[in-house]
Amino acid sequence: MKRLGDKCYCKDKVSSPITKYTELEPALCQELKKIVEAVVVPGKGLLACDESPASLQKRFDELGVENTETNRRNYRQMLFSADKSEFSKCISGVILHHETVYEKTTDGIDMIELLRQRNVVPGIKVDKGLVPLFGAKNENTTEGLDNLQERCIQYKRDGCHFAKWRCTFSITETTPSQLAMVTNADVLARYATICQSARIVPIIEPEILSPGDHGINKALEVHEEVLSNVMRALHQHRVYLEGMILKSAMVLSGRKEEVNCTPQIVAEHTVLALQRTIPPAVPAVLFLSGGQTDEDSVINLNAIVNYEGKKPWQLTYCYGRALQNEVMKIWKGNSAKVAEAQTLLLKKIKLASQAALGQLEVENSVCTK
């Protein structure tokens, strides 16, 4: 008999490929937990800046900004160089695109080093985007597992300590299908184990898209099913739960005319979905802002944090567009507008930080400060 923790596992005389697995060393587990502790800090959240050059194309086009590497660098530098004390009070980590990891500021400082100087943990998006899922109708999976371990090892050497991988699910009468849920859960679990083996904390993002004709009860049902499949796969792949982070959508109605879904109703359904599926061993749940207005994303987060009920996870934000939309419109590639854009960015992340603490001042579903 071999004793592991408080449980005993029989060691078979003949090694079985079904039951044999590689355990993480205690020192590696401890390192992953320390990274989680550095990223998951009360009142702080993550800034998602992992848009690819292709995904920035449309947004830059709308603003009349040429989509060049220099302009992308200048934009990210504008974000990261906002007032250090204010920025680091609200942001604990930044998710980067591969391009940004290897860029330097106009002063010749590595972008990763700029973040480190601000006590912000650099992270990296490692998936390679959505592709059609064969055998399913109008559903996707995510590619990028090939050579992922080698890439993660290199990113770790270059200063990234956590990673993000996104799979998406749409809500219709026929989706998400069982095939899509099982396939994407398995992909997320495989990604997570590879990251952990390379000393990188995986952020697992099964994003349930909100647009559609569904009501909030249907959304709750789908969230429970998707998250249950993900947690089952993580268990089967023996992912170290204390060394991972979940990134989740809020439970939202897709019906535009359904105006009765108050922040309290969103909070109730979101917390219920998590209570029914996510074990306390998972240290944190980061909410994404997809499908919401900038204001709704912080008001709903505030309501979730304040909702009465068991919430054994640290709850906070990992927002991209909700923090950047209006900031980018002010910046427009104009260096003279950097200070104004940074002021708005700091205002937005301060509101998100207050929401993550449940301290947002809200009157009639409108932020008052």
DSSP 136-181: SSS-EEE---TTHHHHHHHHHHTT--EEEEEEEE--SSS-S-HHHH
Domain limits for position 43: 26-357
Measured between alpha carbons, how far is residue 12 from residues 16, 23, 352 in Å?
8, 16, 52
Q: Tell me the pTM.
A: 0.91
Query: Assign residue 135 a region: left if phi > 0, alpha if psi is -120 to 50, beta otherwise?
Result: left
In this prediction, residues 2-21 reach a mean pLDDT of 41
The answer as to whether 366 is a domain residue is no
Least confident range from 105-114, 202-211, 233-242, 248-257: namely 248-257
Query: 214 in a domain, yes or no?
Result: yes
Has residue 329 got a pLDDT over 70? yes
Residues in contact with 190: Cβ distance below 8 Å, sequence separation at least 6, in sequence order:
145, 237
Catalytic pick among 205, 218, 268, 348: 205
DSSP code at position 10:
-
Share of the chain above pLDDT 70, in %: 91
| Percentage of residues of the chain with pLDDT beyond 90 | 88
Q: Does any domain span residue 17?
A: no
Any domain includes 1 = no
Token pair, residue 358, equals 């449940």
Which domain CATH number covers 307? 3.20.20.70
Q: What is the pLDDT of residue 258?
A: 59
Total domain count, the chain: 1
Residue tagged active-site, from 164, 247, 268, 348: 247
Give CA angle at 209 (299, 222), nearest 5°. 100
Q: How far apart are CA 329 and CA 290, in angstroms?
A: 19
Q: What is the mean pLDDT of residues 282-311?
A: 96
Mark whether 347 is an active-site residue: no
Query: Across the chain, how many H-helices and E-strands are there?
Result: 13, 14
CA angle (237 as vertex; 235, 241 as ends), nearest 5: 50
Asked whether residue 80 is assigned to any structural domain, the reply reads yes
205 is catalytic: yes
Could you tell me if residue 218 is inside a domain? Answer: yes
Report the pLDDT value the prediction gives residue 261, as an integer from 0 to 100.
87
In a domain, 120, yes or no: yes
In a domain, 369, yes or no: no
Whether 148 has a pLDDT exceeding 50, the answer reads yes
Average pLDDT over residues 38-67: 96
pLDDT for position 24: 87
Residue 9's pLDDT band (cuts 50, 70, 90): very low
Checking if the pLDDT of 368 tops 60, the result is no
> Which value, in Å, is the radius of gyration of the alpha carbons in the chain?
21
Query: Taking 90 as the threshold, does the pLDDT of residue 16 lie above it?
Result: no
Amino acid 140: pLDDT: 98
pLDDT value for 22: 59
